[in-house]
Amino acid sequence: MRVAVVGAGAAGLMAAAAAASEGAEVTVYERNNMAGKKLLIAGKGRCNFTRDCSVEELVEGFAPNGKFLYSALSAFGPESLCKLMQSLGVDYKVERGKRVFPQSDRAADVRDALLAHAQRAGAAFALNHRITRVETCDGRVVSVVDAAGTRHGVDSVILATGGASYPGTGSTGDGYEMAASLGHTVSKLLPALVPLETVEDWPRSLAGLSLKNVELTLEDGGHDVASEFGEMLFTHFGVGGPIVLSISRKICRALRAEGSTNPGRFAVRIDLKPALDVPTLSARVQRDLAAMSRRQLKNALDALMPKALIEHVIRESGVDDTTPANQITVEQRSALVSALKGLRLEIARTRPLEEAIVTSGGVNTREVHPGTMESRLFRGLFFAGEILDLDAPTGGYNLQAAFSTGRLAGLSAARGGEGREVRRQ
């Protein structure tokens, strides 16, 4: 069985190892000069490769299309992936939020282990080799064609080309074009996990400042619709970081459902002290002001927040920042507490798809067998990873899905696929 894997990312590496382990003759075609280029930057170079949770939680994370993943995740879920990583010499650790990282904090260790795993199984790698077309005859795949026009005969093709975000890593959307040319439905591509631009200019002056253990609440038309706890970052255009990326998915999905590109109705509130309720925080502010009674307000709040944030919190409260700390009234203290618990920013827009961590949209899952990852339109055509119309929050969901669908596609391709009549659903 000759299997071509197009793309050497997370899904492609796993697919190659699985197919080769079943005795298939596997060639991995990668347009970059190395395998796993995007894996190397995952999790800020640390690679949050899965999460310590149940299959049901993973499926829920991919709503509304999560049920499609049930077979793949049930066959190879987080526990199986962690065992594989250990067997490949990659120890792991579980951090806050159920996030699983390599013990070394090095994404390269994950990439190197998976690459060696595929090579030991017998997969061959053709780097700097871009596939541009998949050819079919009588309802099944027969060959792939590269950018030089060379035709390579195959029995199965696994499209694991990734999404359309971070094109510098090779995720340029080639797979979507190939799938669409074969008649597959490809839904509109939008960012799924992406930083946000703010209407306000002041976050730009804080670019690089990271806030930990804060809570971010998303407002949609004035109504609270989601909240995330953890770390965020101020940037030269607004806000980013893990909890902003997770919140952004709600915005992107809402815009996608409405066919809109204007996120102007959204805003976020930053709770700088989520562990303290209002009375407790009010008492804390009162103590800090008493300790700094001879200072002006702008010089009396260093113990409560990063110094760079102070002027912006005071401005949000509406209190004169030159007011002596010992002259702050109960009402003014209440306004300061409100600002600390709800520093508000209006969202101007999302950053472009090219800067997203994950792509929303892709090959319609109704046109793919969930038990094999084989196309319902053509025998021998398989899909794995981000090319499918599946996306989830940050925290290991998306890489786990890539590994699970990649493995299932690889095994299925090597074994001859679904083995039943191809039909469009």
* Same domain? 165 vs 26: yes
User: CA 120 to CA 13: how far, in whole Å?
Assistant: 12
* Same domain? 179 vs 140: yes
User: CA 368 to CA 154: how far, in whole Å?
Assistant: 20
pLDDT at res. 261: 57
CB count within 10 Å of CB 142 equals 16
* Same domain? 217 vs 120: no
The answer to whether the beta carbons of residues 317 and 333 sit under 8 Å apart is no
* Same domain? 95 vs 144: yes
pTM: 0.88
pLDDT of 278-306, one tens digit each? 999 999 999 999 999 999 999 999 999 99
H or E element: which one contains 215? strand 210-220
**How do the pLDDT tens digits run along the chain, 425 residues long?**
999 999 999 999 999 999 999 999 999 999 999 999 999 999 989 999 999 999 999 999 999 999 999 999 999 999 999 999 999 999 999 998 899 999 999 999 999 999 999 999 999 999 999 999 999 999 999 999 999 999 999 999 999 999 988 777 777 889 999 999 999 999 989 898 999 999 999 999 999 999 999 999 999 988 999 999 999 999 999 999 999 999 999 898 887 777 655 566 899 999 999 999 999 999 999 999 999 999 999 999 999 999 999 999 999 999 999 999 999 999 999 999 999 999 999 999 999 999 998 999 999 999 999 999 999 999 999 999 999 999 999 999 999 999 999 999 999 999 987 543 333 32
* Same domain? 76 vs 181: yes
pLDDT of 327-363, one tens digit each? 999 999 999 999 999 999 999 999 999 999 899 999 9
User: Would 420 be classed as within a structural domain?
Assistant: no
Distances, alpha carbon 206 to alpha carbons 195, 209, 266, 375, in Å: 15, 6, 21, 48
> Which pair of tokens denotes residue 313?
């919190």
CB count within 10 Å of CB 298 equals 18
What range defines the domain where residue 308 resides? 278-341
Query: How many domains would you assign to the chain?
Result: 3
pLDDT of 77-92, one tens digit each? 999 999 999 999 999 9
The answer to whether the beta carbons of residues 73 and 396 sit under 8 Å apart is no
User: Would 258 be classed as within a structural domain?
Assistant: yes
User: Would 169 be classed as within a structural domain?
Assistant: yes
Residue 259 sits in a domain whose CATH number is 2.40.30
Distances, alpha carbon 62 to alpha carbons 58, 196, 416, in Å: 7, 21, 28
* Same domain? 12 vs 123: yes
* Same domain? 166 vs 204: no
Question: 312-327: b or e for each residue (b if 16 or more CB lie within 10 Å)?
Answer: bbbebbebebebebee
